[in-house]
Every structure is written in C-alpha cells, then in structure tokens.
Structure 1
Amino acid sequence: VRAAAGAAVPRARSVPGPHPRAPLRRPALPRAGPGTRSPGPAPGAGAAAGPAAAPGGKERGGKKCVDRFSPEYRQRRERNNIAVRKSRDKAKRRNQEMQQKLLELSAENEKLHKKIEQLTRDLTSLRHFFKQLPSASFLQPAAGTDCR
C-alpha cells in the first residue's frame, strides 16, 4: 500500500502464534503463601465484611486450614477412602469384563474366518464341478418343476 506522497507505508506483520490446535494456556497466577496477602479488594471495599465465598459456601482459591484430628475430617477421609476403593474396584471389574469380551470376540472372529475359508473351498469345488458338466444340462429346468 502506498501513501499519497508516494512513500511506502509499512504493513502490519503478523506475529506467529501458537499452533491453531494447541490448547490455550492461562498465565499462571502467583499463589499466596502463608503470611502473604493475595491481591483483592481493599479492606472494607466489598459488600460483605468477611472472606469472599464462592457459590456453595466453599472458600475460593487456597486450601482452608483443616484439623486432621477432628472427627469431621476423619469421617470425610473415611468416606473418601471408601469411594476411592469402590471406584477402583469398579474400574477393575470393567477391565476384566472387557478382557473377557475381547477373548470371546477373538474366538468368534477366528471361528468366522475358518467358516469363510471352508465356504470358499466349497465354492471353488462347486465351480470346478459345474465346469465339468455338459454346457447346458444344468441351465434347463426339468419338466414339471417350477424354479420360482
């Protein structure tokens, strides 16, 4: 593109970006460690004068302080351990069922391949047999028979 005075106008160059199918990554945010404040609204700037809570009553962001010896914590851990065991057992069962199904389908596949081979041999022998017959003897229907 040229300007009215004849001077060349530099074109905008495209900057190579990530691959079109590459997952977009969000920049990592610095984590607030113990004793540090995370950036947020100034004290007294929010509508509520407490920690910002996400929907569902859980704190947003970092982990909350948990007493590992409290009965509630032990109960939650026990329930989680049971759920994990149940999930792993279910995955094992599903895997075993898939292995069994694989064996069954492989056996059936092998059986079908053998049947194909047998039928191919039968077809070949029948073709050979019909070639040996006199040319029109098997094409004309017998008297009194209906071929429909």
Structure 2
Amino acid sequence: MSDSDVSSSLPSQIETCAQTSVSLLTGQPTPPTTPEPVSARPSPRKIGREKGKKAVDRLSVEYRQRRERNNIAVRKSRDKAKKRNLEMQQKMIELSNENDKLHKTIEQLTRELTGLREFFKQMPNASSFIPVTGTDDCALRTY
C-alpha cells in the first residue's frame, strides 16, 4: 500500500473506530483515553492569550493596587452571596412556619366540618338537607 492509499483510507478508519462501542463489565476501570497528538505549532487560542497578556511585575504599585481592588471586589461579592443565602434561609423558615400554621388550620376546619356533618345527619329532618355538588362540597341547600 502506498502513502497516498493510507492517507485516503485514514478518515474512513477513524470514522469506523469512532462508531465502535465497547462494553465493560461492572466494576472494571475505564481504560485511559488516547492522548491528543502534540503539534509543533501552538493552538490559535494560546497565541491569542499570549498576545493579549503583558508581562506583569508583581512588585509594582499598579499590580498591588489592582490586586487590592480585586480582593475587595471578591470579598464584597462573597459577602453579598452570604447575605442573600441568609435571607433565603430566613424566608424559607418563615414560609415553612406559615405552611405549618395553614396545615393546622386545615385540620381544624376539617374537624369542624366533620362535626357539623354529623350534627346535620342526626337532625330529624336531615333528608331535607342535600349537599350541593361542585367545587364547594361543604355547602348545604335546603328544599
């Protein structure tokens, strides 16, 4: 096979390999991935980053000022996030308490409704009270 034959069949071989699936038994380690080929030229992203960055003198006053401003901004951001988290927790506690209170009210009203239904069932003319069908099942209508 000549070099041109190998290079022309290489893309189809790569595609075939990419579609191949391998199933591993449970508990077996995953095989390592194939390392990327190392090229002599750096990638365009690296070139762009290197051009954009300038050499920084870490002992300069300008660098120290920028670092200090950044540190203040980071501290402020973290404090803000902590405050927001605490407010969220407080709101959650308040809503949870309100939810519990509403559940207790529901239980109390359900007990009252059950008691009233029992009371009306025991009345001598209980058959004249017919429950109204629809969304409000506790309303009573007399005929």
TM-score where L is the length of structure 2: 0.57
Alignment CA distance shift 1:26-1:126 (3 Å): farther
Q: State how 1:56-95 maps to structure 2 within 5 Å.
A: 58-59=52-53, 65-95=55-85
Structure 1 residues 84 and 104, CA gap change in structure 2 (3 angstroms): same
Give CA-to-partner distance per residue, 1:106-132, whole Å, 9 cap, x none.
Answer: 110111111011011011101101110
Gap regions ≥5 residues in structure 2: 1-16, 25-32, 131-141
The 5 Å alignment of 1:1-148 reads: 14-16=20-22, 39-40=40-41, 52-54=47-49, 58-59=52-53, 65-133=55-123, 134-138=125-129, 140-141=142-143
**Structure 1 gap ranges (5+):** 1-11, 19-24, 31-37, 42-50, 142-148
Structure 1 residues 97, 28: closer, same or farther in 2, change over 3 A? Answer: farther
Q: Going by fraction, where is helix more abundant, 1 or 2?
A: 2
Q: 1:131 to 1:105 in 2, by over 3 A?
A: same
Quick check: which one's strand share is greater? 2
Structure with larger RCO (C-alpha < 8 A, sep 6+)? 2
How large is the RMSD of aligned CA atoms in angstroms? 3.6
Where in structure 1 do 4 or more consecutive aligned residues deviate above 6 Å? none
Identical-pair percentage: 59
